[in-house]
Structure 1
C-alpha cells in the first residue's frame, strides 16, 4: 500500500485523528488592543450580499471584513520590522505548512500566574523528558488560555497596568528563534508574546526574534490538550495574500490514536 493510501485508510478507520486547533471566527472573536497612538485592526464582520431573496434568489453569500491578525492566524516574517525583507504570507513554501509539532504544557504554571514566562531551563528540562525539539517543526506552547477565548475581557485579561497573559521570556525567545531547529511558535493567547511583552527588552521579543529569523508564528490555537507531547503533524492553511503580513488560518493536527 502506498504511503498516501495508508494515510487515507488511517484517517478513515480513525487510527489517525484530525484535531481542529482553530478558534471559531465571529464578531465576538477577541482581538489585540493597542494603546493610543497606535492603530488597531478591525474585528471580524460579515456583510450580507444576498440570502435567497431578490438580491440573489437561489444563493446566500457574504463579504467579510477582518484584519490579517484576527482570531487563529499565521504571522509571516514581513509582519515585523526585524523581518521586513522576509517572506510575505503568499511566499511561504507549501512544504513548510505541513510539519511535525511538539507540545510544551505549562497550563498549571499559567493558572497559578497569568504572567508566567517560559524560560530556557523549562525547555531543556522538557527535552530531557521528551527528546529534542523537532527539526523544521513547530513548538506549540500550551497554557490553558484557550479556555478563556469565548470571553474577550477574560482572554485579554487587562487591568490598569496592562494585559496579563503568559508568554516567553526575551532570553528564551531569542534562543528558540536563533539556536533551535524549529520553524515556528504556536500559542493559545492573542499574540505570540506575553501580555506584558511591550515592556520587555526588546519589546515583543517573540515577534522580533522569530520573524527576524525568517520563522513563523501561530496564535489563538485551541485544543492543544488533545495533542501528545510529541508525534503530531501540524497542517497550517493561511490564505496566500500577496503582500500580506499574515492571515487567518485553519489549523489542523494529525494524531495517531
Structure 2
C-alpha cells in the first residue's frame, strides 16, 4: 500500500480554500461604494482640487452599441476608498509609485484598533502612543508586516459630504504617535474610515502638519482611506487585501479593499 499523503503539506492553501467554500472564512468588503455621491476632500482654493467621480455613457444597449453597456469615468487618484503610495508626499518622492508597490505588500495581517467611542465624544480625537500601547497590552503586538486599521465609527457619516467632512473636524493620529508608528513599528500601513489618513485639523499641527502623510510615506509605508465594516473584523487575525490600480507614476489609486476573517 502506498504511504498516506498529507494533502495539506502538498497544498498549503487547502485550509483557506476549504474555508472560503464552506463559509468558515468570510470575505468582508471594506470598500465604500464609488459613485457621484462619494464624499471628496476639499482643499484651499489655491491648492487645486481633486476631481469627484463622474461618468459618461459610451453606449447602453442603444444605437451606439446595441449589445454593450459601458462608461468613461473621470476621477482623482484619491477619490473614495483609495490607496496612498509613498510618492504621494514630499518625504516619499523618491520611493515607490503605486505601480511599484510589491504585490506581497498588498496582502497582510491587520490589527484593528477601535476608538469609535472616543471619536463619538470628540470628533477631533487624536490617537496617541499610550492608546496603542494599552491596546497592545490587551490584544498583543501590532501585526508585523501588516496594517493598523483605525476604527472611529466615521463610516456612519458617508452618506453626506457635509457630515463626513464635518468642517475639517475629523479624528486622526497625533504627530508623535504617527512618527512612532511609521519609524519604530513593523506595520506597513495605516487604514482609516475618514477621507484621508490624517486628522481634519492636521494642516494646523504646528510641530508637524499632516504627520501620517509625512512620516508614513517617508518611511516607505502606505495608507488606505474611507474604509467601512471595520466593526466586522476582530482586533487581531484578519488578513487585509488592498488592490489599487497599478498606475505608472501614480501617487495612489481608488482600490478594492477586502479582509479575510476566520469564523
For normalisation by structure 2, the TM-score amounts to 0.95
Of 141, 155, 159 in structure 2, the residue corresponding to residue 146 of structure 1 is 155
SS of alignment partner, residue 34 of structure 1: coil
- Give the Cα separation in 1 of the matches to 2:15 and 2:119: 39
1:5 aligns with 2:14: yes
Of 75, 96, 99 in structure 2, the residue corresponding to residue 90 of structure 1 is 99
Question: How big is the alpha-carbon RMSD for the aligned residues of Structure 1 and Structure 2?
Answer: 0.6
Corresponding residue number in structure 2 for 1:167: 172
1:36 aligns with 2:49: no
- Give the Cα separation in 1 of the matches to 2:245 and 2:166: 29
- Give the Cα separation in 2 of the matches to 1:238 and 1:47: 22
5 Å matches for 1:46-61? 46-61=55-70
Corresponding residue number in structure 2 for 1:226: 232
SS of alignment partner, residue 234 of structure 1: strand
Of 222, 234, 256 in structure 2, the residue corresponding to residue 250 of structure 1 is 256
- Give the Cα separation in 1 of the matches to 2:221 and 2:142: 15
Q: Deviations over 1:172-200 (max 9, x none)?
A: 00000000000000000000000000011
Aligned residue-pair number: 253
- Give the Cα separation in 1 of the matches to 2:219 and 2:104: 18
1:198 aligns with 2:203: yes
Deviation, 1:36, is 2.0
SS of alignment partner, residue 32 of structure 1: coil
Q: Which has the larger radius of gyration?
A: 2
- Give the Cα separation in 2 of the matches to 1:3 and 1:13: 17
Corresponding residue number in structure 1 for 2:28: 19
- Give the Cα separation in 2 of the matches to 1:240 and 1:4: 26
Q: Deviations over 1:106-128 (max 9, x none)?
A: 00000000000000000000010
SS of alignment partner, residue 150 of structure 1: coil
Corresponding residue number in structure 1 for 2:187: 182
- Give the Cα separation in 2 of the matches to 1:56 and 1:118: 52
Deviation, 1:171, is 0.4
SS of alignment partner, residue 157 of structure 1: helix
Corresponding residue number in structure 2 for 1:213: 219
SS of alignment partner, residue 177 of structure 1: helix
For normalisation by structure 1, the TM-score amounts to 0.97
Query: Tell me, which stretches of 5 or more residues in structure 1 are unaligned?
Result: none
Corresponding residue number in structure 2 for 1:75: 84
